[in-house]
Every structure is written in C-alpha cells, then in structure tokens.
C-alpha cells in the first residue's frame, strides 16, 4: 500500500527577517494542499535582543556558544515571538497552525551535545522524533509549526539547528508517510555560480555532489545543509528539494532536486 504524502517545508532566517517575504510565503504555505509541517529558523531578532540586554555573543573557534542567558534569548525569540507570530498569521490565512517546540508533547527528544573539543553549551543533538504524537496533530487537521528548540526530557530546553530539525522530522515521519523535504532559502537552489541566481543545478546525486564539492562549487554553509539532505534521503525520506520559498506555489521556478 502506498503511504500518504507529507510535505515538510523549512524556512530560514532570511525569510523571517523580511516581513513582506514572510507574509507572502505564509499565504503560499496556507494554500499549499495536503498534509504539511513547517519548520522555521531564527533570524536576526535573537541577536538584536541579546545585544539590547547587553549579552555579547560567546564564540569559540568561530562557533557560537549557547550559554544560559543566550538559551533564554532564543527560547523567547524562537518559541515565543517568531513561532507565535507565524502561527497567528497562518491562522489568519485559514491554516490551522499549531506552534511547537520539541518539548511540547515530547515531539523532539535531544541530548546536550557531547563535549569533545568545544563545549557548545545548551545545544541539542536529536535522538528521537515522536512521530505518533506529531501524527495526532496531522490526523486532526492541525498543521504543526516547529521552531528549533528541543528538550532532553530532563527539564532542559536545547537550541538545535533548524535544518537538522527539519531533516530529523522528515526521517521520523517516513515510517508513516512518503515525505518530501523542502528547504527554502534566499537563493533559487544550489547554484553553480553563487553570484548568478539563474545558475541553479537542477539535479544533484551522491556522485555529482562529490564532484561539486571537489570543484569547490558547494562549500561553506551549504555543506551541512547538503549533509542534512543526503542523510534524510538515506534514512527513508522520499524526496529532497532546495529552492526559493516561492517554489511551493510557482511551477515555473527552478530548484534543486537531490537524489541518492
């Protein structure tokens, strides 16, 4: 028997930082038919709040550290301000959104990242997606909207990478659904020339990915995103797409499809 289809769509900080782009995306998302889950990243507001209350970003070897104060800030901004404003805008569009963190109904169980060389602080690596509870929402016509805060079921909230939240939810829901994972961001897809938005590479598989890495076409921040994509495909997700947020509504928009 064919599994029913489920779309998991991730939006990043660049979309959230622009109220008009966000509003337009949320309209498209509301009109997008079928079962769906939204995962959103953070954006600049957390940094702004941290600065305005006098926190200085803690960095070790170029990596941001989430100490207690910064965890409070991201919990307030991601789970409070952003998640609830996105939820209320979706409700306005007739989309029955339900804003969630991983702590809510124990949807995403994580552990504090194990200290090797760097103690990242309250950063969570995901262990388990509670697909049964997430499915309760879907089966009752509620649209889960996840921010990237998880918990360890020991009373500790954890800051987690939003791309990873999206890919782990996609993997976790693949036991019940044929899942399409759609990463949207400010570019039109994986670009051959980062300065040319028309240079979208429309198909990437494991072999061409290696070539593109060797050529230096895929580098820097795209590498962890691509890791999440291929990890999802290897672990049961049916389809992974990277593109501009308008792809969920615009058939003529180019995008990148990843295959194993």
Using CB under 8 A, list all residues that contact a copy of itself: 49, 52-54, 72, 75-81, 83-85, 87-89, 91-92, 96-99, 101, 103-106, 133, 136, 140, 142, 149, 151, 153-157
Q: Cα dihedral angle (246, 131, 231, 161), rounded to 10 degrees?
A: 70
Task: Report the nearest approach of a copy of itself to the CB of residue 209 (Å).
Answer: 37
Task: Report the nearest approach of a copy of itself to the CB of residue 14 (Å).
Answer: 21
Q: Sheet of 178-184: strands edge to edge?
A: 97-100, 143-146, 35-40, 5-11, 178-184, 239-243, 256-258, 203-204
Task: Report the nearest approach of a copy of itself to the CB of residue 158 (Å).
Answer: 9
State phi, psi for 97 to the nearest 5 degrees: -70, 145
Contact 226, 210 (CB under 8 A): no
Which lies closer to a copy of itself via its Cβ, residue 52 or residue 207? 52
Token duo for residue 255: 């995008």
Task: Report the nearest approach of a copy of itself to the CB of residue 33 (Å).
Answer: 19
Which lies closer to a copy of itself via its Cβ, residue 77 or residue 190? 77
Contact 36, 4 (CB under 8 A): no
Task: Report the nearest approach of a copy of itself to the CB of residue 116 (Å).
Answer: 25
Which lies closer to a copy of itself via its Cβ, residue 36 or residue 225? 36
Which lies closer to a copy of itself via its Cβ, residue 85 or residue 259? 85
Task: Give CA–CA dist 155/78, Å, rounded.
Answer: 18
Which lies closer to a copy of itself via its Cβ, residue 156 or residue 246? 156
Task: Report the nearest approach of a copy of itself to the CB of residue 54 (Å).
Answer: 7
**Residue 241: its H or E element:** strand 239-243
User: Helix or strand or coil: residue 108?
Assistant: strand
Contact 254, 200 (CB under 8 A): yes
Task: Give CA–CA dist 100/259, Å, rounded.
Answer: 30
Which lies closer to a copy of itself via its Cβ, residue 24 or residue 238? 24
- The structure tokens 């990463």 sit at 183
């Amino acid at each position: 028997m064919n599994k029913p289809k489920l779309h998991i769509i991730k939006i990043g900080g660049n979309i959230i930082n622009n109220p008009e782009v966000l509003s337009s995306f949320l309209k498209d998302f509301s009109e997008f038919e079928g079962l769906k889950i939204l995962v959103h990243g953070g954006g600049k507001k957390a940094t702004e709040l941290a600065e305005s209350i006098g926190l200085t970003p803690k960095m070790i070897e170029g990596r941001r550290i989430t100490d207690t104060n910064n965890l409070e800030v991201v919990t307030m901004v991601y789970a409070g301000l952003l998640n609830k404003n996105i939820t209320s805008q979706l409700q306005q569009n007739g989309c029955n959104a339900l804003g969630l963190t991983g702590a809510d109904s124990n949807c995403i169980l994580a552990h504090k990242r194990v200290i090797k060389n760097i103690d990242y602080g309250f950063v969570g690596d995901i262990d388990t997606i509670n697909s049964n509870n997430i499915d309760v929402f879907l089966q009752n016509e509620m649209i889960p909207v996840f921010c990237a805060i998880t918990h360890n079921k020991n009373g500790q909230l954890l800051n987690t990478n939003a791309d990873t939240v999206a890919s782990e939810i996609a993997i976790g829901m693949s036991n019940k659904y044929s899942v399409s994972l759609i990463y949207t961001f400010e570019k039109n897809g994986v670009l051959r020339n980062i300065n040319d938005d028309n240079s979208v590479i429309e198909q990437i598989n494991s072999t061409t990915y290696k070539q593109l890495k060797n050529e230096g076409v895929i580098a820097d921040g795209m590498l962890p995103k691509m890791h999440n994509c291929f990890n999802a495909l290897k672990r049961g997700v049916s389809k992974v797409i990277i593109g501009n947020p308008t792809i969920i509504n615009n058939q003529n928009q180019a995008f990148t499809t990843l295959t194993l």
